[in-house]
Amino acid sequence: MPLARLWREHLEAGCPSDLQGVEIAGSDVVALDAEVTAYVSAVVTRTCLNTDERVSRRLEEIHRALEQASAHAPAPVATYCARLDGLIGAALVRLGAKTN
């Protein structure tokens, strides 16, 4: 699915209230969403044309944590984690990076 479409869907869906106070990848989920949102926004608007190793490592860390969280979470949370992870994957593909 195209990154811009995933991005719109994520913005429209919002964050489930079940995630209030939950920590994923060492960050409160609201802060994590903002972190990923800023990065994906830069990729979608083409203000970020490449990524440094630090950003790639952080996105890989978030990717792994989201996969783990979604495997053990109730449906609304798992759906959110999968959607956010899809954004990360699509952004990394757009930049030519690879996820593990």
Structure confidence by residue, pLDDT tens digits, 40-72:
887 777 776 556 677 778 888 999 999 998 888
Mean pLDDT of the region 25-35: 89
User: How far apart, in whole angstroms, are the C-alpha atoms of residue 95 and residue 4?
Assistant: 14
Q: pTM of this prediction?
A: 0.79
User: How far apart, in whole angstroms, are the C-alpha atoms of residue 84 and residue 12?
Assistant: 13
Q: What are the structure tokens assigned to 90, written together?
A: 């699509």
Chain-centre distance for alpha carbon 26: 14
